[in-house]
Amino acid sequence: MWFITFLMFGLSFALDACIRSVDNPYQDPYLDYLLVKTLEKALQESGRKLNCDKDAQDFYLKVTRLKEEPTAYTPFKRVNAYNLTLSLELRSGDKSKTYSRTINYFLPSGAYGNLPKRKALEDLLNIIYLDLLQDLKVYF
């Protein structure tokens, strides 16, 4: 019972954090969703409460680069492999950090639509998440 009381006491003094904006100039709604979900998860796991009160620490996330480069072609001159690069900037107050990663993904055939790209975006943000979480605990 004392453990639950201690846990509740510790959570009541967690820092408040507010995601003020997620700026994505690339018009990709799935990327918007992934960015918000990843930042919320990282903030909560770093010991903060999501709350936009006046005392909350404000966070701004901006996509600075999203680039798809073709890397392989089929014998029929169609692209079937890409390198996907994502760069993000996280700001809070006067502190700022930049994260950038590249991953490759393949299109086995045209029947998959943009599912491989979505999976590549998820994988990129899972890689960036680890650095983001560490910086939220130490730097911000």
CATH number at residue 34: 3.30.160
Q: Express each pLDDT in 12-27 by its tens digit.
A: 567 899 999 999 999 9
Q: How many Å is the maximal CA-CA distance in the chain?
A: 68
At residue 45, the pLDDT reads 95
Task: Give the mean pLDDT of the chain.
Answer: 90
Expressed as residue numbers, the domain containing 23 is 2-138
At residue 107, the pLDDT reads 85
Q: Is 57 helix (H, G, I), strand (E, B) or coil?
A: strand
By C-alpha distance, which of 35, 18, 17 is closest to 26? 35
Domain tally, the chain: 1
At residue 37, the pLDDT reads 97
pTM of the model: 0.84
DSSP assignment letter at 66: E
Q: Express each pLDDT in 89-139 by its tens digit.
A: 999 999 999 999 999 999 887 667 789 999 999 999 999 999 999 999 998
pLDDT class of 46 with cuts at 50, 70, 90: very high
